[in-house]
Structure 1
Amino acid sequence: MKIAAFNVKNLGMKKVNNDNILKNLIKIVSRYSLVVMQEVQDPTGNAMKKFLTELNKYGKNKYHPFEMLSSEPIGRNSRKEQFVFFYRHDEINVTDYYQYEEENEDVLAREPFIVMFDCPNTVVKNLVLIPVHIDPDDAENELEALDDVVEDARETLKTDNIMILGDFNADGRYLNDETREALSISSAPYYWLIDEDADTTTGANDHTYDRIVVYGDEMYDAVVANSAKPFNFQKAYKLKKKLAQSISDHYPVEVELEED
């Protein structure tokens, strides 16, 4: 079962109404059984409803359709974002979800929308996804706070099968190697799956901003070896750089779970 996280840069009706962008987004999402998008800006929900309708008209999606689950708009300022999940409901079911809220401090600019899935065809059977879009200006503190988020999810949802995924902004000028390696989530029982040299951006830099991190040995053992990587859609679909960058400034990061 293939899972992905994709920061789609200001995803709203303007992009959904652009035929070239829409066509390629549909091709990208259709590679997966489960995708979580970040940086969605669709407070009415109309853009994502339209995207879902068009997505389910494409190829095998007609027979293996996606369903959608969205958070409320999240963020401190007027530029709020949503986390939006698309999942094939003949493979996966949502069993629980909640909006994480910090108890004492306001560290996370966009608190994760945590979702638990029933995955009967994989070795883990249930899976919790914690999507993140880390504020680049406070990356160290926000990433350190994710250990508390995981502990809350473990206690609330009664499982250790947890995956954190999304735009960590964990590279370049936002986070150096030494700082990253000192984070609570940088050592066991956490495992970082995306190679440190992987380029997850469509721009001129080669930074590894987007990450997938799993919690615990059982979750790590459920991952297909060497399956965690960015999907370079510009290269795969032979797109011009301008079109690729109009789709997003990020590539999706993906991983595959072992089937039962």
Structure 2
Amino acid sequence: MPHMAMHGLVLSLLLILLAGGAESFRICAFNAQRLAQPKLAKKSVMDTLVQILARCDITVLQEVVDSSQKTVSLLLQELNRSDKTQVLSSYQYNDTDDVFAREPFVAQFTLPSKILPNVVLVPLHTTPKDVEKELNALYDVFLDVSQRWQNEDVILLGDFNADCASLTKKRLNSLLLRTKAGFHWVISDGEDTTVRASTNCTYDRIVMHGQGCQTLLRAAAPFNFPRSFQLTEEEALRISDHYPVEVELSKAAQGIQPFSWAILLLLLLLPSQLG
């Protein structure tokens, strides 16, 4: 991994599987803004984070800054768990050209649906100065994973920094993931994924590919946790300056056993260059 020698390490990816709903399941991405032990020491922060994470069946939690992994352990103590969910396979993308500040860690999950029995998640947290380059390279990651696992049902998600000063609308619309057929940006360009009232940017995204994903898609939107939990802006910023983004998929087939309460963690130590 080319960047492992850089100063500091970031525990930048935490994939959490929790209880599936009776009729649908949610896949979410959340930049928790430099999440570390001192932040979780505040009870209000811990309680709100647990509420946010417990809403989703699979969550990509980004910007966990703690090489000791104790922050993750603290979160796990507050969340129920079992071993009834399954990751079919996973790998870290081989970034031979050193394009990514944080090489994508890819995982394939089972899902409780006959129409879509499994799905691939490709999380990415871009660095603001190289947003366009990294997002175009994400198309190569898609090709790599779809060929490796023969799976076209792929969800690319995370803090893409895909708006405002980091990426103009013209450059956004010229991305390979916008011009190639089959990719659906389900978080609309006009959505605000930032907590501060002074900003209105769609940094965080979910991009879906594959007929199975499209067939089961119910809804996609940022989750305005300050409004849902009746927090002031100041209180919300203690959690993060980003909203989670989420996609809700239906369970089209009846009689499928829903997810029990479960957590599956995929942890990745990556460089601490944060955007």
**How would you bin the TM-score normalised by the shorter chain?**
0.7 to 0.9
Structure 1, 183-192 or 1-10: larger mean CA deviation = 183-192
1:145 match: secondary structure: helix
The match for 1:240 is 232
2:238 match: secondary structure: helix
User: Quick check: 1:211–1:253 contact (8 Å CA) kept in 2?
Assistant: yes
User: Quick check: 2:153–2:211 contact (8 Å CA) kept in 1?
Assistant: no
CA distance in 2, matches of 1:238, 1:107: 40
1:133 match: secondary structure: coil
Equivalent residue pairs, number = 226
The match for 1:37 is 61
The match for 1:220 is 214
User: Quick check: 2:36–2:65 contact (8 Å CA) kept in 1?
Assistant: yes
The match for 1:123 is 115
The match for 2:203 is 209
Residue by residue, what CA displacement relative to the aligned partner does 1:44-92 show, whole Å, maximum 9, x if unpaired? 1111011011122xxxxxxxx36xxxxxxxxxxxxxxxxxxxxxx54x4
1:122: how far off? 6.1
User: Quick check: 1:100–1:113 contact (8 Å CA) kept in 2?
Assistant: yes
Counterpart check, 1:183 vs 2:207: no
1:121: how far off? 3.4
Residue by residue, what CA displacement relative to the aligned partner does 1:170-220 show, whole Å, maximum 9, x if unpaired? 000111111111111013221100011111000121100000001133322
Counterpart check, 1:10 vs 2:34: yes
CA distance in 2, matches of 1:2, 1:32: 5
1:211 maps to a residue whose letter is R
CA distance in 2, matches of 1:223, 1:122: 14
1:240: how far off? 1.3
1:22 maps to a residue whose letter is M
Percent identity of paired positions between Structure 1 and Structure 2:
38
User: Quick check: 2:183–2:207 contact (8 Å CA) kept in 1?
Assistant: yes
The match for 2:128 is 136
The match for 1:192 is 185
1:232 maps to a residue whose letter is N
Structure 1, 33-42 or 163-172: larger mean CA deviation = 33-42
More RCO (CA 8 Å, sep 6+): 2
1:169: how far off? 0.4
Query: Structure 1 residues 29 and 122 mapped into 2: Cα distance closer, same or farther (>3 Å)?
Result: farther
User: Quick check: 2:29–2:158 contact (8 Å CA) kept in 1?
Assistant: yes
CA distance in 1, matches of 2:54, 2:114: 19
Which residues in structure 2 correspond to 1:96-107 (within 5 Å)?
Answer: 96-103=89-96, 105-107=97-99
Which residues in structure 2 correspond to 1:78-93 (within 5 Å)?
Answer: 90=84, 92-93=85-86
User: Quick check: 2:29–2:245 contact (8 Å CA) kept in 1?
Assistant: yes
Counterpart check, 1:251 vs 2:231: no
1:15: how far off? 1.6
CA distance in 1, matches of 2:150, 2:40: 37
1:25 maps to a residue whose letter is L
1:198 maps to a residue whose letter is E
Q: Which runs of 5+ in 1 are unaligned?
A: 57-64, 67-88
1:233: how far off? 0.4
The match for 1:113 is 105
User: Quick check: 1:10–1:40 contact (8 Å CA) kept in 2?
Assistant: yes
1:221: how far off? 2.2
CA distance in 1, matches of 2:36, 2:67: 9
Counterpart check, 1:158 vs 2:155: no
1:194 match: secondary structure: coil
The match for 2:19 is none
